[in-house]
């Protein structure tokens, strides 16, 4: 197993290099004997490795690394850096305890950072970590590169993100929610409004806390206003598609199955609460419109997507690549990987389409599709050296049933308890199906995990 060690330069050269670094224990300019220089050099290298590990933990958490692999990845990296570390992670927080078995002392670092999805920077972090592990770059240079990754601007400007909200709503309205061309056009307009509000949430911290409910209320109000000319369920769910909690729910189920109890419980509870918030906001928006228009309160049947005038299923294959590219932009995947992401997701969705709509195996379709998705993505990553999680994430987001949970909570709020409970349970069972397929594919490709580098897959 390769290990990162002190470089082969002479002690005098190493000390001169360390003087240029901003470290807490800078080497003194006073003359010292060789033994003292070696001790000081070892201490500075130890602090340098600790600083690198802290930055790696922060980057992996910020850019969407699977949390159930994060602790093992950090411990494996620390072992290669000759550090004794105990790591613990929950959403938004990483605890690193550096131990010294010789002096029987320890130091704990608490790293707080937001949890997000930035696959481009996650891939860059993974590639840098791999170069460090195989001694292709020194740790001090790796720290500089990692700081550049963290401070770099987004690869897609704000106006592309706003436009992406609208186009993503348009494409998923046709493929996932059974909408017509008219429904998709209205979803495009309402999605652009949601994108503008997301931009405002990034600028004003006080608005962030009410962002989801405000977008849901506005989507419900506008969708109810145009319900005479379109399908309310398809339009409203497409307008809020970026907020749907299906991916969070699936991730939580995977973490629970991986014995990561705290993180899995937090994510599942957050996903259920988010679905409830979106459903509540949509119904409030509908009620506001009906009070203004003087119409009776619309009931939960409006969330029934079977009432929509959907296009032919064969037309989905034309709009599917657009939706995948929109999801890739949403999670910040570089355009160089769009082709591989689209091909992998297309293979998975083709399997899902075959099992569900031709063979009629509704319960087996997500299991087989997610297994094929993970198998192809992990195999592709193993051959090309790309990050597997980046390749499979858009395809996974296409399979997760976030809209089912919103429809279920909408039915519960509309006093249709039996249908609402059935839809909410359907979301959980589908997440379990996807979890089984993804974990099985990871075991087939990586039966013993990765020995030297980070395992960035499900």
What confidence category does residue 32 fall into, taking pLDDT thresholds of 50, 70 and 90?
low
φ/ψ of residue 341, rounded to 5: -65, -45
Secondary-structure breakdown of the chain: helix, strand, coil percentages, each rounded to the nearest 5: 70, 5, 25
d(CA 384, CA 336): 13
Task: Report the pLDDT averaged over residues 420-443.
Answer: 77
User: Would you state the pLDDT for residue 300?
Assistant: 47
Q: Residue 359: pLDDT above 90? A: no
pTM score: 0.82
User: Would you state the pLDDT for residue 149?
Assistant: 92
Task: Report the pLDDT averaged over residues 387-399.
Answer: 84
Q: Identify any residues that bridge with 86 across adjacent strands, giving them in sequence order.
A: 97
Please indicate whether residue 163 or residue 441 has the higher confidence score (pLDDT): 163
Angle, vertex CA 156, rays to CA 152 and CA 158, nearest 5: 100
The string of pLDDT tens digits covering residues 126-178 is 888 888 888 888 888 999 999 999 999 889 988 999 999 999 999 888 887 77
CA atoms within 13 A on the CB side of 420: 17
CA atoms within 13 A on the CB side of 205: 0
What confidence category does residue 415 fall into, taking pLDDT thresholds of 50, 70 and 90?
low
The string of pLDDT tens digits covering residues 44-79 is 888 888 899 999 999 999 998 888 778 888 888 888
Secondary structure of residue 9 in the 3-state scheme: coil
Residue-averaged pLDDT of the chain: 79
Secondary structure of residue 90 in the 3-state scheme: strand
d(CA 321, CA 345): 9
d(CA 193, CA 142): 41
Q: Residue 262: pLDDT above 70? A: yes
- Kindly report the number of other CB atoms within 10 A of residue 241's CB atom: 29
d(CA 191, CA 188): 5
d(CA 329, CA 165): 10
d(CA 304, CA 324): 25
d(CA 58, CA 429): 33
């Amino acid at each position: 197993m390769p290990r990162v060690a002190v470089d082969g330069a002479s002690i005098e050269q190493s000390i001169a290099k360390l003087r240029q670094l901003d470290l807490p224990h800078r080497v003194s300019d006073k003359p010292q004997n060789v033994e003292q220089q070696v001790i000081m050099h070892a201490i500075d290298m130890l602090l340098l490795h600790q600083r690198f590990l802290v930055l790696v933990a922060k980057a992996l958490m910020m850019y969407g690394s699977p949390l159930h692999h994060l602790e093992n990845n950090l411990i494996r990296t620390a072992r290669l850096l000759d550090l004794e570390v105990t790591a613990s992670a929950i959403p938004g927080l990483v605890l690193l305890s550096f131990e010294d078995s010789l002096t029987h002392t320890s130091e704990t670092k608490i790293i707080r950072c937001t949890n997000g999805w930035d696959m481009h920077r996650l891939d860059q972090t993974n590639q840098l970590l791999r170069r460090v592990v195989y001694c292709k770059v020194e740790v001090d240079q790796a720290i500089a590169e990692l700081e550049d990754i963290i401070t770099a601007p987004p690869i897609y400007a704000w106006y592309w993100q706003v436009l992406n909200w609208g186009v993503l709503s348009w494409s998923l309205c046709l493929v996932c929610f059974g909408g017509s061309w008219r429904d998709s056009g209205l979803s495009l307009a309402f999605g652009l409004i949601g994108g503008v509000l997301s931009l405002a949430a990034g600028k004003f911290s006080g608005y962030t806390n009410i962002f989801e409910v405000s977008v849901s209320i506005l989507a419900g109000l506008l969708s109810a206003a145009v319900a005479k000319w379109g399908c309310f369920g398809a339009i409203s769910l497409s307008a809020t598609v970026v907020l749907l909690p299906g991916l969070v729910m699936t991730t939580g189920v995977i973490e629970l199955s991986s014995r990561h109890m705290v993180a899995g419980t937090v994510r599942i509870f957050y996903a259920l609460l988010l679905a409830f918030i979106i459903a509540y906001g949509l119904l409030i928006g509908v009620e506001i419109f009906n009070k203004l228009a003087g119409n009776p309160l619309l009931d939960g049947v409006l969330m029934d997507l079977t009432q929509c005038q959907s296009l032919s299923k064969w037309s989905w294959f034309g709009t599917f690549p657009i939706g995948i590219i929109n999801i890739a932009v949403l999670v910040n995947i570089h355009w160089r990987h769009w082709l591989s992401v689209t091909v992998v997701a297309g293979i998975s969705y083709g399997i899902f389409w075959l099992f569900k709509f031709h063979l009629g195996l509704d319960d087996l379709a997500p299991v087989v599709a997610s297994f094929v998705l993970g198998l192809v993505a992990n195999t592709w990553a193993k051959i090309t050296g790309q990050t597997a999680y980046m390749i499979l994430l858009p395809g996974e987001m296409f399979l997760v049933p976030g809209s089912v949970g919103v429809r279920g909570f909408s039915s519960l709020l509309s006093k249709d308890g039996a249908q609402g409970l059935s839809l909410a349970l359907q979301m959980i069972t589908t997440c379990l199906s996807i979890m089984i397929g993804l974990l099985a594919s990871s075991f087939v490709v990586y039966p013993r995990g990765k020995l030297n580098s980070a395992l960035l897959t499900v």
